Every structure is written in structure tokens, then in C-alpha cells.
Structure 1
Amino acid sequence: MNSLIFASLLLYAASQTGECITGGNEAAAHSRPYMASIQWNGKHECGGFLISKQWVMSAAHCFQDGRTSGFKVVLGAHSLSVAEDTKQTFETTAVYNHPDFSISNYDNDIALLKLNKPVTESDAVKLVKFGREKLSNPLESDTVETAGWGSLNNLGGRPDKLQELSITVMKRILCGRGDYYGVKFTNNMLCAADRKKDTCDGDSGGPLLYNGIAVGITSNGGKKCGSSKKPGLYTIISHYTKWIDSTITK
């Protein structure tokens, strides 16, 4: 390869990795026992989180390409590649996307996956409480947490071990500005990020946590992770209490 081209590629890579989840850290192994890796053909595609012994919550846009079966859900993982004895792997018997999910702006981006059998709870596999109606959602400037196995940078580099991140809820009026998300930013969403701290490709479907409760679902941000005007978008779970309750009783 021409040395000038190679040097240019290295410079491009260096500039891109600054706009990514640089603020994240590897989580302590199994410290987030509700985390799920949703996999297709053995490859991590999206995140999710365990809300009952046989149900995982995730994002509807993860299942918009016609694939509603054939997924594996892996719980109890820290490393995706290591054969950890804490792992429990499940088939999905049903995937329920919210009926009003909009692919154009990712409104109502919530999905529920039914596992083929109940989980065996352990130190590495536990339920997480999720936001319901009348629950106090985080306000602007509040610190929230998220986690996932998504890309570490805009070049698509994926971690093997679970990463976690603390970020700040942003002002709604800011996220609704035309140079941010404009009219695509709805009442069912909140946005959260900090400088060079953001979720990225592959984190979709994971939880946004406030005081240990899952209050949001990682949805969709800009094409470039860490972009100051395209912060991460999260579906507000408490807006869907009735739909969740009716679905998990099926």
C-alpha cells in the first residue's frame, strides 16, 4: 500500500475514534446480570434486558428486516467469546414489536421477546425493575447509566466484554431543535450523552438506568456515534405500561 495512503488512513482512524464511546469502561464481570446479548448466527446484533423469568425487553428496530425468529438470547455473559459457565442461551418463541413503531423516526421503539423457557436465576442472571406509569423519570442534567457490547468507535470495532457508561440527560428543547432531531424527537423519547460519551451500533435494545431501574431503551442516534448534535436517543419505558402488561400475559 502506498505509504501516503496508509498514513492518511491512520490519521482518519485516529480522528474517528475520538467521536465514540471513549468514556465507557469495561463493566465488572456479571455486575449487570439483567443484560442480554441478542444474537443472529452466533453474532451479537443487539442488546436487551431481562424483565421477567421468560421475557426480555429490547428495541423494535432490531427486528425490522423480517427476522422475527432464529435469534438466540444469551444471558449471564460478560465475554461474548469465552464459554463462561454462567451463560444461559435461549431460543425466542415470539417477538412482539410495538404496533405503532415508526421506522421513519424510531418512535415507539420497544420490543418484547418471549424465551422458550424460564431462566434459572443466579448471581449472573437476574431481573431488573423497569419504569412504569407514574414512576419518576430522570430529568435534564440527571446522570443515567447504560451498558452494551456495541461498537467502540465509528469504524465498527466491537468489544468482547461488556462495557458500561454514565451519561447526562439533555434538555428536551435542545434535542427537538432543527439542527439536532427536530420533529423526529417525540414525547416518547429522551436524549442523553456527554462529550465523547455515547452509545453506538450494537448497543440498541439495551437499558438506560436511573437509580437502578430501567427507564429507557437504547434506540437510535446519529450515524456517527458521539456526535454533539446527534446524541443517543432512548425510548421512555413508562409510556408503555399497558402494552407491556398485556403482551407478557399472552
Structure 2
Amino acid sequence: MVPGTGAWGLLLLTVAAALMLPTRPPGSQRAQIIGGQEVLPLSRPYMASVSFEGQHHCGGFLFRAHWVVSAAHCFRNRDPRTGLVVLGAHSLHTSEPTRQVFSIAAVVKHPEYQPTTHANDICLLRLNGSAVLGPAVGLLQLPGRGAQPPAAGTLCHVAGWGSISDFEDPPPGLMEAKVRVLDLDVCNSSWQGQLSPAMLCTHSGDRWRRGFCSADSGGPLVCGSRAHGLVSFSGLWCGDPKTPDVYTQVSAFVAWIWKVVRGSPPSRTAGLLVWAT
């Protein structure tokens, strides 16, 4: 499936893919979890939907009652004051009594985030209130301090609300795909050596296309019971083994995450790229 619609869009994307890393963040377009299936409603209570103007834009996950992790590229050219974070959802197009909706009090992007290379593609969202935890809304654990990324071949899961066709048909609910961790050196050879050590890759592990695509950006790659990856970017054809899916490696940013969460309130003088109310 191609992450974009229309002949002109396909032509431009094809040229860009042939020349360089994707320069347009995946969260700015729409596509699907590839080769996945719908999960049981509310079986992934940590999942968050980040929306603008009533439309799902990116994913994320709740790791503290008023903190969500997402991808920094989701907020390029976006005013966080117009965004909402939806928790406790399964289908984004029906009314659900389990939903909790918050505005965004602050966005803390990693200070070394590089839009052109996607390096350090991670941000923290401070909600304007505290989520009420329960069966429908829960927390996902971060890797422990000093944890290593999962070994190549490890079976993991990636989930999201991306559209299920090039015509932007909405999914019936939260979708998820099983993928396997790919050795970073092998992955880097497919990306012409442009990946950083703080990235993580996955592939289907077989002949089928499976993985994430654009509107799944910011969602977690769950290995075991912890978030080891954060959806960052993929190739022109989602799930294509020639351009494996690339994630931000969460374990490389655990110390930074806790420094932000446990530190003083975000400000523009703290050396961080921040917007706050």
C-alpha cells in the first residue's frame, strides 16, 4: 500500500524515495497497520490517539497518569493548543463511554530531534489533567534504566488507528500487527547507512508484508510488557522488506524521560524545545 493518494502524490513520493530518506514525516499522511488485525476492545488500555480538528493524526502511549509519549515529528507545523489526546478508545468513529479526552498542557520535544534524519524522534505530552486509571485506561511500562534493546528476532507488536486503504477508509477499531526485531546493521544497509544507533527496526520475519504506516506514528512497539520502540518512519510501500520499519529506540531515552517528568515544570529556558500553556 502506498502512503498517499492520487497520481501526482505517488509520482512525487516515488522520486523522493529513490533519492533519500523520507523528508515528509509519516504522521502527516494517512495509511494503515499492514498485515494486522483488530484487537479486542480496550485490550491495549495504554494506547493514545492524538487528534487535530477532530481527525486522528498520530498515536502515543500513556506511561504516567498525566504523561504520554509520542513522536516529535507529529508536532511539526502543528499548534499543540489545537490538539487533543484521547484515551480509553477502540473505534475512533463511534461514541464510547470509556473515553477520556484531554487537551495538551505542554509538549516537550527531545532537544536533539532532527527532522531531516528523524534522529531522536520522541516527545512527551503533559496532559491538562490526570487520567483516571482502570480497565479501559492504563499505563505501559518503559524499559528499565540501562536496558538493552530487544535482540534481533524478538517477536513484538505494533498498534495504531491508521486508515485501512489509500482512500482513507477508517479501521473498524484499533489495529495491531506482529513483527520481529531486525538487526540494526542489516536494517541500516537497506537505508544506505542513514540510521542512528538510537533507532530500532522491525520486519515481518516471513514473506508477508506486516508493520506500520503513516498515521500510526508515535505509537509503541511493545516487546514483552514494555514499550521498546516508538513508530517513526517507513518506506514508500508500508511493510516493504526493502525499507524496513524504523522506530525510535525508547531505551536510549529513558533517563531523559524521567528527567523531564520528575524535574521542574517545562520552560523555554530549560534547554528543551517546549510549548506550554
> Is this a same-fold pair by TM over 0.5?
yes
> Match for residue 164 of structure 1?
176
For residue 134 of structure 2, the aligned residue among 122, 141, 152 is 122
In 2, Cα distance between the equivalents of 1:26 and 1:56?
23
In the alignment, the residues of structure 2 paired with residue 66 and residue 23 of structure 1 have an alpha-carbon distance, to the nearest angstrom, of 30
Distance 2:149 2:183 in 1: 14
- Say what the alpha-carbon RMSD is for the aligned residues: 1.9
Residue 156 of structure 1: how far off its partner (Å): 4.0
With over 3 angstroms needed to count, the CA separation of the structure-2 counterparts of 1:242 and 1:22, relative to structure 1, is closer
3-state SS of 2:56 partner: strand
> In the alignment, is residue 243 of structure 1 matched against residue 256 of structure 2?
yes
Which residue of 2 is the match for residue 87 of structure 1? 99
**Local SS of the residue matching 2:215:** coil
CA displacement 1:77-123 (0-9 Å, x = unmatched): 00101111000000001111111111111010101000001001110
In structure 2, the partner of 1:51 is: 63
TM-score, structure 1 length as denominator?
0.88
Deviations 1:152-206 (A, max 9, x none): 34554431410011101112221111xx212321101011021310101110000
Task: Verify the 8 A CA contact 1:153 1:200 in the aligned structure 2.
Answer: no
Q: 1:114 to 1:27 in 2, by over 3 A?
A: same
CA distance in 2, matches of 1:21, 1:39: 18
Q: Counterparts of 2:86 and 2:154 in 1: how far apart (Å)?
A: 31
Q: Which moved more, 1:30-39 or 1:63-72?
A: 63-72
The SS at the match of 1:44 is: strand
Q: What is the rounded CA distance, in whole Å, between the counterparts of 1:20 and 1:89 in structure 2?
A: 23
Structure 1 residues 1-250: aligned runs within 5 Å:
21-154=33-166, 156-177=168-189, 180-194=190-204, 195-249=208-262, 250=265
Structure 2 residues without counterparts, runs of 5 or longer = 1-6, 8-30, 266-277
Equivalenced residue count is 232
Normalising by structure 2, report the TM-score.
Answer: 0.79
| Structure 1 unaligned regions, length at least 5 | 1-8, 10-18
Q: Is the 8 A contact 2:38 2:175 kept in 1?
A: yes
Contact 2:86 2:101 in 1 (8 A): yes
